[in-house]
Chains A and B, each alone.
Chain A
Amino acid sequence: MAYRADDDYDYLFKVVLIGDSGVGKSNLLSRFTRNEFSLESKSTIGVEFATRSIHVEDKVVKAQIWDTAGQERYRAITSAYYRGAVGALVVYDVTRHVTFENVERWMRELRDHTDANIVMMLVGNKADLRHLRAVPTEDAKAFAERQNAFFMETSALEAMNVEDAFTEVLAQIYRVVSKKALDIGDDPAAPPRGHTINVGGKDDVSAVKKSACCSS
């Protein structure tokens, strides 16, 4: 990032955070994008999405990470929230087993509304609360393997594995996109940039849109 203008990037990837209310999605987001953590646990308000750019191999990858705005609390996430997402972090709270039980429903919802190639990571947050653990690591790891998802335990409070979780998802998305580009000779995917009304070209129908900003 020190070597490029901040808005110059090779890929823009939309990543969504999903999972039960109160598992720490917003703190994961703020820790990764602004290195901030808040102990206040009220429902997500005020956050649309946040971005951060990282390097993957020799490319600049800009992550556009969306938070639920609290709409998951009573199962009212819009289908538009999922549109164009190429990655997802499905988050549960290791101290509340019910949040892990609901992960299967979140993953089903995700698969119903996104591309089959979406990179999914199961994230067990609040791993710092060791004495309150209710979800054994091995159970979650085995579940993730069955779901063909990556897995990591994190602590947004202690900043443990947060960076790794996001960078791993972004690196895997990059691999999928690169492979796809090799397969079909297409441009990488990018979600809408959100600064103006996005009017697509006549025949461009893909939910994972081409980016006019990418450079080879």
Chain B
Amino acid sequence: MAEAAADSSNSAVDGGGSNVQNDYPTIDPTSFDVVLCGTGLPESVLAAACAAVGKTVLHVDPSPFYGSLYSSIPLSSLTSFLSPEASPPTSSAAAAASDSRTVVDLHRRSVYSDVETSGTVPEPARRFTVDMVGPRVLYCADEAVDLLLRSGGSHHVEFKSVEGGSLLYWEGCLYPVPDSRQAIFKDTTLKLKEKNILFRFFKLVQAHIAAASASSDETGQGDASTKIPEEDLDLPFVEFLKKQGLPPKMRAVVLYAIAMVDYDQDGADPCDKLTTTREGIQTIALYSSSIGRFANAEGAFIYPMYGHAELPQAFCRCAAVKGALYVLRMPVVALLMDEEKKHFLGARLASGQDILCQQLIIDASYKIPTLDVPFDGSDSWKVVRGVCIISKSVKQGSSNVLVIFPPKSLEEQQVAAVRLLQLSSNLAVCPPGMFISYLSTPCTDVSAGKQSIKKAIDTLFSPQASDGSEGHFETTNESTEDVKPTLIWSCLYVQEITQGTSGSLLSCPMPDEYLDYRNVLGSTKKLFASIYPDEEFLPKKSAPVYADDASDSAE
């Protein structure tokens, strides 16, 4: 049973053999409102949104599986996914300027670099699935969840809780993150004074959130006395926390483990990385409303079983139900423009077939021809990601756990938070008895970012070479010392980050450095609005009404 489940961890069905010479199908019809290439989360949500408002959609992907940069990859395929061979697309030698068209070649590029692997992949390798977006979760109250419910995508995805909650790394120890009033009560590591301060702070924030939502309901008439003043909302959040009397450790809990701030708020860095009180409270509100939203979900976070590529698959299925056409193993190799290259006409597929469309949307692994300015790598944002296979849970008795390393908690040069998300076999992403841990940190300096990730790995895990003499570190929840998990295998790589772009050719956002999809989905909605400004984005009740002989509950 678990064997079959794990075997199904591939994110798409690849029934064909691995022939180099593909037998491409001819697509019928040959004209669509929208053509999308790439089946990452933004492309898939856009396909569902376009199909839901009646647009004709062709959605293709060069890979034999769904997901693009948001894929869930079998471990054995990870290195080839990170370093694909630079095989130019087999563009057929059709006439370059037939029927008053100009063909502009479209090329792909690798968004990954600096791949480092160490250790030996444990057997059976096919039982491991690696998410390219990790560490990533959904808040229970996230808009991604609401989009799944609205579109009907929730029929196709199952979730598990990150039931172990969050841990904060502080002064060499792991502490449970007290993320609610109940958690503060139960916490055994907090001093009474710390509990009182945190409790008062949460009460203040909850009152503000309640007053703010009441205020938006009653068009401006709220209980002003419980709202946080505007001048405080515009303060850097760290200053507001200091005003409330939170000591450094409690500030770290709120900033990095609950408000999910990335960058050091106490450093002398430029102030564009400072989070405002308003922004911090926004995330705290999402976090708070996520706890308890689903009766059977423990904590604020859920994770899709079999990996994150299940999400784009769900949205693609919704688009297909509305009539979108799906083709895998089909790259787009060129743009079709009019003779003067002023107007976009369509796209040429690898089969040589030309498809007319009003709008082409591509994933971020394609270069954009018109914006082929010299690439200035020095000012581009990147995220360093790590994947580790470990021998046991970082928190005894927990399956899925989030660990936060605040800036400077690992070493003085650590300018951004490091996040680690540990997943277990209950997600069908690894065999029982082992765990996959994802790490990430944003950076402009790749070397410094990698150093932070390695330091986090060394802090939490023992290298495998010293079998039997594993190191120890203190987990404050236990009175006795705990043994570190053994690091069996790891891979580090660097991924560049770009936002989506508009124009006649839309490029979708890449997986970013954040823990959730809010930013990615925000960009995706903007892209949709730029194509169809008068259409509603995934209208409520766009989920298909399925034929049912029973009157199941309306919700």
| A124: Cβ under 8 A from any B Cβ | no
Residues of A within 8 A of B (CB): 6-7, 9, 30, 33-34, 45-53, 62, 69-71, 73-83, 105-106, 108-109, 112-116, 192-209
Chain A to chain B: the 5 pairs with minimum beta-carbon distance, closest first: A76-B326, A207-B5, A194-B155, A69-B320, A6-B550
Other-chain contact of A196, B65, B154, B425 (Cβ < 8 Å): B154
Q: Which parts of B36-77 form the interface with A (CB within 8 Å)?
A: 65-66
Q: Which residues of B contact A197 (CB under 8 A)?
A: 140, 145, 148-149, 154, 157, 159, 294, 302
Q: How far, in whole Å, are A80 and B158 apart by their CA atoms in the complex? A: 10
| Docked-complex contact B310 and A80, CB < 8 angstroms | yes
Q: Which residues of B contact A74 (CB under 8 A)?
A: 25, 27, 325-328, 330
From B66, B160, B163, B551, residue with most partner A Cβ within 10 Å = B160
B150-183 Cβ-contact flags toward A at 8 Å (1 or 0) = 0010111111110100000000000000000000
Number of B positions contacting A (CB below 8 A): 68
Q: Which residues of B contact A206 (CB under 8 A)?
A: 1-2, 5
Give A61 Cβ to nearest chain B Cβ, in Å: 12
- Interface majority SS on B: helix, strand, loop or mixed? loop
| Docked-complex contact A75 and B16, CB < 8 angstroms | yes
Other-chain contact of A45, B2, B160, B323 (Cβ < 8 Å): B323
With both beta carbons as reference points, the residue of chain A lying nearest to B546 in the complex is identified as A48
Q: How far, in whole Å, are A159 and B470 apart by their CA atoms in the complex? A: 68
Q: How far, in whole Å, are A21 and B555 apart by their CA atoms in the complex? A: 33
| Docked-complex contact B546 and A50, CB < 8 angstroms | yes
Q: How far, in whole Å, are A201 and B154 apart by their CA atoms in the complex? A: 17
Give A195 Cβ to nearest chain B Cβ, in Å: 6
| Docked-complex contact A79 and B10, CB < 8 angstroms | yes
| Docked-complex contact A45 and B321, CB < 8 angstroms | yes
Q: Which residues of B contact A45 (CB under 8 A)?
A: 321-323
Other-chain contact of B13, A47, A79, A209 (Cβ < 8 Å): A79
| Docked-complex contact B159 and A200, CB < 8 angstroms | yes
With both beta carbons as reference points, the residue of chain B lying nearest to A83 in the complex is identified as B8
What are 13 A-B contacts with C-beta separation under 8 Å? Answer: A53-B549, A70-B320, A70-B325, A71-B320, A79-B65, A106-B15, A112-B8, A113-B8, A115-B1, A115-B5, A194-B152, A198-B159, A200-B296
Q: How far, in whole Å, are A82 and B427 apart by their CA atoms in the complex? A: 17
Give A98 Cβ to nearest chain B Cβ, in Å: 13
Q: How far, in whole Å, are A81 and B155 apart by their CA atoms in the complex? A: 10
Known: A7-B553, A76-B328. 10 other contacts (CB 8 A): A7-B550, A76-B12, A115-B5, A198-B154, A198-B159, A201-B296, A205-B2, A205-B5, A205-B432, A207-B8
